[in-house]
Amino acid sequence: MRPSGRALDAIRTVSIEPGFSHHAEGSVLIRMGGTEVLCTASVEGRVPPFLRGQGKGWVTAEYGMLPRATHTRGSREAAKGKQSGRTQEIQRLIGRSLRAVVDLAALGEMTITLDCDVLNADGGTRCASITGAWVALSLAVRKLVETRVLKASPITGQVAAISCGLTEMGAVADLDYAEDSTAEADANFILTDGGGIVEVQATAEKSPFTDEQFAELMRLARLGTARLFEAQRAALGTP
Amino acid sequence: MRPSGRALDAIRTVSIEPGFSHHAEGSVLIRMGGTEVLCTASVEGRVPPFLRGQGKGWVTAEYGMLPRATHTRGSREAAKGKQSGRTQEIQRLIGRSLRAVVDLAALGEMTITLDCDVLNADGGTRCASITGAWVALSLAVRKLVETRVLKASPITGQVAAISCGLTEMGAVADLDYAEDSTAEADANFILTDGGGIVEVQATAEKSPFTDEQFAELMRLARLGTARLFEAQRAALGTP
Amino acid sequence: MRPSGRALDAIRTVSIEPGFSHHAEGSVLIRMGGTEVLCTASVEGRVPPFLRGQGKGWVTAEYGMLPRATHTRGSREAAKGKQSGRTQEIQRLIGRSLRAVVDLAALGEMTITLDCDVLNADGGTRCASITGAWVALSLAVRKLVETRVLKASPITGQVAAISCGLTEMGAVADLDYAEDSTAEADANFILTDGGGIVEVQATAEKSPFTDEQFAELMRLARLGTARLFEAQRAALGTP
Amino acid sequence: MRPSGRALDAIRTVSIEPGFSHHAEGSVLIRMGGTEVLCTASVEGRVPPFLRGQGKGWVTAEYGMLPRATHTRGSREAAKGKQSGRTQEIQRLIGRSLRAVVDLAALGEMTITLDCDVLNADGGTRCASITGAWVALSLAVRKLVETRVLKASPITGQVAAISCGLTEMGAVADLDYAEDSTAEADANFILTDGGGIVEVQATAEKSPFTDEQFAELMRLARLGTARLFEAQRAALGTP
Amino acid sequence: MRPSGRALDAIRTVSIEPGFSHHAEGSVLIRMGGTEVLCTASVEGRVPPFLRGQGKGWVTAEYGMLPRATHTRGSREAAKGKQSGRTQEIQRLIGRSLRAVVDLAALGEMTITLDCDVLNADGGTRCASITGAWVALSLAVRKLVETRVLKASPITGQVAAISCGLTEMGAVADLDYAEDSTAEADANFILTDGGGIVEVQATAEKSPFTDEQFAELMRLARLGTARLFEAQRAALGTP
Amino acid sequence: MRPSGRALDAIRTVSIEPGFSHHAEGSVLIRMGGTEVLCTASVEGRVPPFLRGQGKGWVTAEYGMLPRATHTRGSREAAKGKQSGRTQEIQRLIGRSLRAVVDLAALGEMTITLDCDVLNADGGTRCASITGAWVALSLAVRKLVETRVLKASPITGQVAAISCGLTEMGAVADLDYAEDSTAEADANFILTDGGGIVEVQATAEKSPFTDEQFAELMRLARLGTARLFEAQRAALGTP
């Protein structure tokens, strides 16, 4: 049995609570089991230098983890004076994933920054960040449409992410920390509600895996993200 | 009238919710009106190099603010690669304030690190951090006593902090952001339940102030911290 | 037609020249068309702190690009004082990929560092780095076996990498810079000669892609890496 | 008796020697007993970005200590690559203290930077820095008035600083290093010649102190700064 | 006999191969025995801030060494986050040396950056960098003249560099690593084909040396650079 | 005539005042005309890692310049977060120069650090630093001999430094800032009282110079350092 008692294809309880941040244009606190990430969307009326004057907008992300989000205290990146390779990798991934479902030309010369800060960690923080950040982004965009800054939403679809992995029990969906730290392989799937693939990152932690194993991980990811798309729509109050 | 409608000597609604962090030995989410700070206490069985072999413990603190805790997004210190002077000043203050009510010899060769991370900011974040961190520290110490790592608590009293200031309305207690950003002077008082002064930091923002004004700020601080000591005891379930 | 005139499934001319570095235990200059990467393997008789005393070895990698490897001069990371997120992401990938085909316990308490420095860049530098680094690693290990430092090679298989992508012409193998900078999606496949998958990183640059498209990219990767495994064996003079 | 043999309310011999620096618009070497600080005032015809176009000036400070100003050599902050929290705290304090007696609007779009570099340290370096910097600032302003860059001095009063503390002998004025390192509490008072309070920083180093003790420290500070105001006027040759 | 079997005044085999870099405006791979340096010249149509609007150009250099150019692997400066004092000293020297033979006014508002990256090191890397960089610079300038960006070459002469030293065998020319690491003194001479001295850096590694010894080192340097000027001309195909 | 009215071979008034620093084992304030450098020698009973266990000592140096030592304020290296290439070059030179006249084996496992901090700059700061640091070192060593930590002085001779240059007036000794900033060439000579050469750094700032010019600079350096050796002996009270 899985450490959590879940079925192989069962994801953890997901909750997406809007409005946790008082000041952000959009924000949610997303919970995937014991993983809790505060996602905020901040809108600024300008774009980075490399985009200036092109009439296009930008969506980017930053990621952080509170020092005691984890079992033992990790050192604070601000105190160490630099972001780890892992942090940079994750925040680049979040930004890319969201840009895949935003029409940047329709956004216009604006930047939306998604901050994903992990308050409690129990595996899958980058996936929860993407799933939550999409809702925070949607809330911020809704406000821009309501206040007529934008005529229509530049968001072209939903995007959500899930990690699946190969464990002693076989392929399982939505790894928690206990599974993640011992899995033979793990894969992050960032998928759209329209069935598209935005990003796949599959890594053999111990030994190489097969095409069949990879296909099974992908199947679990489709199932799992279907549940996440529902949760996103529920948080936004859309059908 | 004050922007918030409060009486001159009225502090904001305070709530101290233990257990927000899943892994920390002690944690609270403290709210002072719109200011929300997550305080966690992490225990480690060793001390910094300068204390090794002296049989004494250490209590220290780190402080951070999520990028969108504020009205407009601030840049992330981890991304900038250094902590601001303000951040360092605050975390040094929190550490000093807590050490003033801990018998380090009685703690033994252990370090307790208080992480104070501001989730939402509306003025007074350093004071809320101190008040909340004391409860997180007390919870961690309680666990050490319950598990017989310590024979008795090394905490010698309660400590809490409040900012008071001189505004157009005169001296007022517990400044929120609207008041803090326009005050003529502001002062942070870190006081103990036994009537002692741990630290006073009073600063004229516009022009120098008088002894009488200073005495009135101190009076308000005594009143306000009395309320905070109650809230701390309530959070701990002690009389 | 592809900018290079290649067939859709044709990879660029590959050459792997051993011995470019005078001092390294193993080294090659790998060329994939206009991309040239110097890969060196350096052996040290100790392991990083987190592995000490476990009787296991470590394989890690660093990646760099000479400032004028590219069309316009890029700034030197040593001068800027930090490695970019992209650099860190790539060097973590190279290290993981090689560890997937090394039995670290059989290596013993030794570290082998692969340095991959791009002398000329025309797309696919991370893939060329992995393919070349595996040969450099093999040469260093061969020397350790010949000098009886190791009884047998801890290398469990060949690993090679190729990038494939979706362009206006459809799915193509081994993107060069001209294709890479305009592709709708690109994917890096790190595969073993035994048919195993070590890592897959597929990214939609413009819009999400489908399962069928992904499968076609994977098919091209199998074809392409078959050619690379041959080139690796030829460089080592093994059948 | 105090280690120095001074009476409880006696400050150390103070000397303020103008003109130590050959190039600065204003400079003094201030000595408070064995503490020696070189204070220079540098005038620039522009303001920091956050003040541009507002017609106001800026006064700021930087603080440093030569590596061997202390009993044992301290490491050089330039070599370590960052300023300590203590350094930043002190230079922010010096800047704030001087701005409290300068009419920034009357200064116009100019920046005056006070550099306070400790050549020899024997306690009270931040206070000596403030007291000396005010004279350096006054000398620079005098030059601006003499050369008609400014019509009148924007300085609204004198500011000086002194540290007082609670020792085994009771409350004492102007702590030297021997007293400072063992005091139960110490407090820095930054006061104006008009009787105003610019800043108070009182810290319990060992255990909390009382209102009465605090009042006695303040009394000593009034006495001590009266002496410092005289010394400042003497250095400037004003009555 | 010298470790290499060379005569006291014999320099190592020198080869200067143009065109190693695919993208640079000028490039060479220079080999001095076992020392190999890739020198590239990059042209940009602007100058650093301190030169703007003066109608003059700039020539500058950066220097690096691949981690395994040396007998044992050195750490990567980009990973350490800063360039060593040695690196900065060398790149400043290369830039100064080249500027001594360029008429910056005739260059016009352009910057030419010489990147000198050591692929294999066996002593004398800074000298090889200067000698090779002059050829790379000449190739880039030739292209600017051919494309009529410049009317005439702003290069006023040849510059080349050689290290000579005092060893147990007496004064010798063109030290390799074995000699360099044990020499009693070593000196770098940067000379022009017209007989001029651009820079001399002579250092006693063990004990001070005499005027006569210095004169002998200079004589060897004249002989050696004569050979290098020939090699430079051969590489450019000029008489 | 030279800007200062000096004869071509005349150095500036030199004064070397011991004891400026209260705590250092040895210290001097050296003045060469308007250039003033505080040199302190700090003794520590251990050596850097690369020398441990070899029974040898180490002599090293650090260099700094106060922000307003110069005509216009320079930025503080501690605030910028790194030492400039120039600073590193100078402090490496000072360390090398002093080690050339110290028998490190006779010093034993001790480190002496020379801090050279420029209080006022008018050209020639690196030379003044070396000349002064030798006296500070000698004072520290004298104390070690007097307290019997060392049996005899490990100092093998005097070392002093002077800059000479080619100006419109011809070769001149001991450049001040006005000359240094316009010289066609300048050269730093670090020489011993026994007639030995420790280091020569000659640089053509505008166009290459000749052997004859170089010889004349060397002649002036011999004359000038003779005067400096006298001043060093006078400061030490030795014949």
Query: Which of chain A's residues have a Cβ under 8 Å away from the Cβ of C89?
Result: 85, 88-89, 92
C-alpha–C-alpha distance, residues F186 and F179, integer Å: 10
Mean pLDDT, range D165-180, rounded to an integer = 96
C-alpha–C-alpha distance, residues E132 and E140, integer Å: 13
Question: What residues contact A135, with CB distance under 8 A and at least 6 apart?
Answer: A16, A18, A26, A28, A30, A39, A232, A235, A236
Report the residue from B22, B68, B77 with minimal CB separation from A42.
Answer: B68
Three-class DSSP labels, chain E: CCCCCCCCCCCCCEEEEECCCCCCCEEEEEEECCEEEEEEEEEECCCCHHHCCCCCCEEEEEEEECCCCCCCCCCCHHHHCCCCHHHHHHHHHHHHHHHCCECHHHHCCCEEEEEEEEEECCCCHHHHHHHHHHHHHHHHHHHHHHCCCCCCCCECCCEEEEEEEEECCEEEECCCHHHHCCCCEEEEEEEECCCCEEEEEEEECCCCECHHHHHHHHHHHHHHHHHHHHHHHHHHCCC
D73 with F113: Cβ contact below 8 A: yes
Structural contact between residues B69 and B159, judged by C-beta atoms closer than 8 angstroms:
no
C-alpha–C-alpha distance, residues C115 and C63, integer Å: 6
Residue E195 in marked binding region: no
DSSP, res C149: S
Query: Is the per-residue pLDDT at B239 higher than 90?
Result: no
C201 Cα to chain A: minimum distance (Å): 5
C-alpha–C-alpha distance, residues B12 and B80, integer Å: 33
Mean pLDDT, range C48-66, rounded to an integer = 96
Paired tokens of C37: 């990467």
Q: Is the alpha carbon torsion for B147, B150, B156, B158 positive or negative?
A: negative
Q: Give the tens place of pLDDT for each residue, A144-185.
A: 999 999 999 999 999 999 999 999 999 999 999 999 999 999
Q: What angle do CA B124, B129, B131 make, to 5 degrees?
A: 95
Query: Which of chain E's residues have a Cβ under 8 Å away from the Cβ of F196?
Result: 204, 207-210
Query: Which of chain E's residues have a Cβ under 8 Å away from the Cβ of C48?
Result: none
Question: What residues contact D170, with CB distance under 8 A and at least 6 apart?
Answer: D8, D216
Report the residue from D23, D27, D67 with minimal CB separation from F70.
Answer: D23
User: Using CB atoms, which chains have 3+ pairs under 8 A with C?
Assistant: A, E
C-alpha–C-alpha distance, residues F225 and F199, integer Å: 13
Q: In what order do the strands lie in the sheet with A159-167?
A: A170-173, A159-167, A185-192, A197-204, C197-204, C185-192, C159-167, C170-173
* Single-letter code of the amino acid located at D191: L
Paired tokens of C228: 């690379």
* Single-letter code of the amino acid located at A224: G
D88 with B88: Cβ contact below 8 A: yes
Residue A124 in marked binding region: yes
Paired tokens of A126: 């980058």
User: Using CB atoms, which chains have 3+ pairs under 8 A with F?
Assistant: D, E
Position B88 scores a pLDDT of 94
F22 Cα to chain E: minimum distance (Å): 31
Secondary structure class of A197 (helix, strand, coil):
strand
C-alpha–C-alpha distance, residues F136 and F131, integer Å: 9
Q: How far is CA E194 from the centre of its chain?
A: 17
Report the residue from F82, F89, F202 with minimal CB separation from E200.
Answer: F202
Of the candidates B118, B134, B26, B19, which has an alpha carbon nearest to the alpha carbon of residue B65?
B118
Calculate the alpha carbon distances from F218 to C215, E214, F9, F171, F185 in Å.
76, 11, 11, 10, 13
Consecutive H or E run containing A172: strand A170-173
Interface of E to C at Cβ within 8 Å reads: 20-24, 27, 34, 38, 40, 42, 44, 62, 64, 66-73, 76-79, 81-83, 87, 113, 115, 117, 119-120, 122
C-alpha–C-alpha distance, residues B26 and B30, integer Å: 13
Paired tokens of A138: 């949607």
C-alpha–C-alpha distance, residues E105 and F206, integer Å: 13
C-alpha–C-alpha distance, residues E112 and E25, integer Å: 10
| Confidence at B201, pLDDT banded by 50, 70, 90 | very high
Query: Which of chain F's residues have a Cβ under 8 Å away from the Cβ of D23?
Result: 68-72, 120
F120 with D83: Cβ contact below 8 A: no
How many inter-chain contacts (A to B, CB under 8 Å) are there?
Answer: 100
Q: Is the alpha carbon torsion for D92, D94, D100, D106 positive or negative?
A: negative
D113 with F40: Cβ contact below 8 A: no
Report the residue from E89, E101, E203 with minimal CB separation from F89.
Answer: E89
Query: Which of chain F's residues have a Cβ under 8 Å away from the Cβ of D113?
Result: 67, 73
Structural contact between residues B41 and B136, judged by C-beta atoms closer than 8 angstroms:
yes
Paired tokens of F157: 């001779």
* Single-letter code of the amino acid located at F160: A
Q: In what order do the strands lie in the sheet with B26-32?
A: B14-18, B26-32, B35-44, B111-120, B58-65
C-alpha–C-alpha distance, residues D214 and F155, integer Å: 55
Beta strands in A11-149 (DSSP E): 14-18, 26-32, 35-44, 58-65, 111-120
Report the residue from A89, A196, A210 with minimal CB separation from C89.
Answer: A89
Query: Which of chain B's residues have a Cβ under 8 Å away from the Cβ of A68?
Result: 21, 23-24, 27, 40, 42, 115
User: Using CB atoms, which chains have 3+ pairs under 8 A with D?
Assistant: B, F
C-alpha–C-alpha distance, residues A152 and A136, integer Å: 17
Q: What angle do CA D210, D211, D214 make, to 5 degrees?
A: 90
F208 with E192: Cβ contact below 8 A: yes
Q: At what angle do helices E85-99 and F85-99 cross, to 10 degrees?
A: 110
How many inter-chain contacts (A to C, CB under 8 Å) are there?
Answer: 92
Secondary structure class of C116 (helix, strand, coil):
strand
List of chain F residues with pLDDT < 70: none
C-alpha–C-alpha distance, residues F25 and C132, integer Å: 57
B82 with A87: Cβ contact below 8 A: no
Query: Is the per-residue pLDDT at C127 higher than 90?
Result: yes
Secondary structure class of F26 (helix, strand, coil):
strand
F67 with D27: Cβ contact below 8 A: no
Query: Is the per-residue pLDDT at C207 higher than 90?
Result: no
Q: What angle do CA C203, C209, C213 make, to 5 degrees?
A: 100
C-alpha–C-alpha distance, residues B147 and C204, integer Å: 53
Q: Residues of F forming the annotated binding site?
A: 86, 124-126
D197 with B207: Cβ contact below 8 A: no
Report the residue from B78, B81, B115 with minimal CB separation from A68.
Answer: B115
Position E21 scores a pLDDT of 97
Of the candidates B196, B202, B189, B188, which has an alpha carbon nearest to the alpha carbon of residue D209?
B196
Structural contact between residues A77 and A83, judged by C-beta atoms closer than 8 angstroms:
yes
Query: Is the per-residue pLDDT at A14 higher than 90?
Result: yes
Mean pLDDT, range D205-211, rounded to an integer = 89
Of the candidates F183, F177, F187, which has an alpha carbon nearest to the alpha carbon of residue F122?
F177
C-alpha–C-alpha distance, residues C99 and C61, integer Å: 10
Query: Which of chain D's residues have a Cβ under 8 Å away from the Cβ of F119?
Result: 20-21, 38, 119
Query: Is the per-residue pLDDT at B184 higher than 90?
Result: yes
D3 Cα to chain F: minimum distance (Å): 18
Residue of F nearest to E214 (CA): F197
E117 Cα to chain C: minimum distance (Å): 8
| Confidence at D207, pLDDT banded by 50, 70, 90 | confident
Q: Are strands A185-192 and A159-167 parallel, antiparallel or unpaired?
A: antiparallel
* Single-letter code of the amino acid located at A68: R
D208 with B202: Cβ contact below 8 A: no
D204 with B198: Cβ contact below 8 A: yes
Query: Which of chain E's residues have a Cβ under 8 Å away from the Cβ of F89?
Result: 85, 88-89, 92
B110 Cα to chain A: minimum distance (Å): 14
* Single-letter code of the amino acid located at C193: D
Q: What are phi and psi of C119, to 5 degrees?
A: -90, -35
Secondary structure class of F90 (helix, strand, coil):
helix
Question: What residues contact B154, with CB distance under 8 A and at least 6 apart?
Answer: B57, B102, B103, B104, B105, B106, B107, B141
State the virtual CA torsion across F43, F46, F49, F50 in degrees, nearest 10: 70
Supply the pTM of this predicted model. Answer: 0.91
pLDDT > 70: percent of chain C: 100
Structural contact between residues D219 and D234, judged by C-beta atoms closer than 8 angstroms:
no
Q: What is the per-residue burial (b if ≥16 Cβ within 10 Å, else e) of D72-97?
A: ebbebbbbebbbebebbbbbbbbbbb
C-alpha–C-alpha distance, residues B235 and B139, integer Å: 10
C-alpha–C-alpha distance, residues B72 and B79, integer Å: 17
F73 with D20: Cβ contact below 8 A: no
Paired tokens of B52: 């090794």
Average pLDDT along chain E, 239 residues, taken 10 residues at a time: 94 97 98 98 96 95 98 95 93 96 96 98 98 98 97 97 96 96 95 95 91 95 97 95
Q: How far is CA D149 from the centre of its chain?
A: 26
Residue of E nearest to F189 (CA): E202
F68 with D27: Cβ contact below 8 A: yes
Helices (H) and strands (E) in chain B, counts: 6, 9
Structural contact between residues D8 and D226, judged by C-beta atoms closer than 8 angstroms:
no
Class of domain C14-236: alpha beta
ipTM: 0.95
Q: Give the tens place of pLDDT for each residue, B23-78.
A: 999 999 999 999 999 999 999 999 999 999 999 999 999 999 999 999 999 999 99
C73 with E44: Cβ contact below 8 A: yes
Question: What residues contact C165, with CB distance under 8 A and at least 6 apart?
Answer: C171, C172, C175, C179, C180, C183, C184, C185, C186, C187, C217
Interface of A to B at Cβ within 8 Å reads: 20-24, 27, 34, 38, 40, 42, 44, 62, 64, 66-73, 76-79, 81-83, 87, 113, 115, 117, 119-120, 122
C22 Cα to chain A: minimum distance (Å): 31
Mean pLDDT, range D9-29, rounded to an integer = 97
* Residue A160, CA atoms < 13 Å, CB-side half-sphere: 25
Query: Which of chain B's residues have a Cβ under 8 Å away from the Cβ of A62?
Result: 67, 76, 79
Residue E126 in marked binding region: yes
C78 with E64: Cβ contact below 8 A: yes
C-alpha–C-alpha distance, residues F71 and F177, integer Å: 10
